Amino acid sequence: MLRLLARRLMSNVPESTVYGGPKPQSPGRRVTLTHLRQKHRRGEPITVLTAYDYPSAAHVDSSGIDVLLVGDSAAMVVHGHDTTLPISLDDMLAHCRAVARGASRPLLVGDLPFGSYESSASEAVNSAVRMLKEGGMDAIKLECGAPSRISAAKAIVEAGIAVMGHVGLTPQAISVLGGFRPQGKTVASAVKVVETALALQEAGCFSIVFECVPAPVAAAATAALQIPTIGIGAGPFCSGQVLVYHDLLGMFQHPHHAKVTPKFCKQYAHVGDVISKALSQYKEEVENRSFPSAVYSPYKISEADVDGFSNELQKMGLNEAASAAAAAGKNEETAGKPSDGKC
């Protein structure tokens, strides 16, 4: 009786998964900010990769990558623009929703696109809220540099949304930067990168991306900060690395993509070559009528039904169609017979 009463009382005790503090992560569980902080404390590199749709998200998910970034780079590698500026928040939300359906393990971070957070802190918070509520993201990323953008990051954090900052080359600011130019190459510029990163940490960012800065600058920032740094073209001394999915896979050979593929990207495969070869082979086989063969025409109709079908077509006055059906039926029957080995 006492044991039964104890069980009933215990049913009112909050589960340790909610109130008992963080537990060690296993490969099959969702990556959280706690997981990233634990890796950072242990000095383990953090892996980040972009994805923009369900198939790419599923691939990233199965690879065990820690963080999946739905980047505004989709404007260039998916939509074919020369910059990231044209993509809208609604476009990004569509990408985010597709990615959220394809990935169940990594931390999902959605990029706030140009024009969705610059006007005011209120606009920034509203856009970030949409990223979580409509896009299914766990956190957002925004490009920083100007004090107003740091204030926007702070407002989003205070609204209860995790923020990843972004310093160095900030592609949304190419109008001011004069193009896609590396940052931190002078003393003043290098100091500004570190100062901006420290301000973002103070604003509450959980991590900061460093893009296209010299390795010593990224190393200094990483040493100065207490949060993880994620490098992209920033050398080997960051807490982790991020690359664009299409760049990493060597997806494109088209001149447009050749000019937007960055120098810092290592191509771990040449998937584009495989795709081009497969498409060319498909075109050739369709043109010479070797595809689809009997193997790829799996849906059969009996000889008796073909005859009946042809008769019905003749009654309808569709003699040519009846002849075509009868000929196809005979061809299918011949194709399905085993070969006797004679030529």
List active site positions: 211
- Residue 323: other Cβ atoms inside 10 A: 13
- φ/ψ region of 279 (left if φ > 0, alpha if ψ in -120 to 50, else beta) reads alpha
CB within 8 Å of 116: residues ≥ 6 apart = 88, 89, 92, 123, 124, 127
Q: Which amino acid is at 11?
A: S
Question: Which H/E stretch holds residue 177?
Answer: helix 174-177
121-133 and 147-158 helices cross at what angle (nearest 10)? 50
Angle at 310 between CA 307 and CA 311, to 5 degrees: 85
Question: How far, in Å, CA of 317 to CA of 302, rounded?
Answer: 23
Cα distances from 205 to residues 77, 140, 232, in angstroms, run: 27, 10, 18
- Residue 198: other Cβ atoms inside 10 A: 15
Nearest to 145 by CA among 135, 153, 137: 153
Separation of CA 322 from chain center: 51
Question: How far, in Å, CA of 30 to CA of 333, rounded?
Answer: 53
Cα distances from 65 to residues 47, 245, 343, in angstroms, run: 5, 12, 54
Question: How far, in Å, CA of 74 to CA of 90, rounded?
Answer: 13
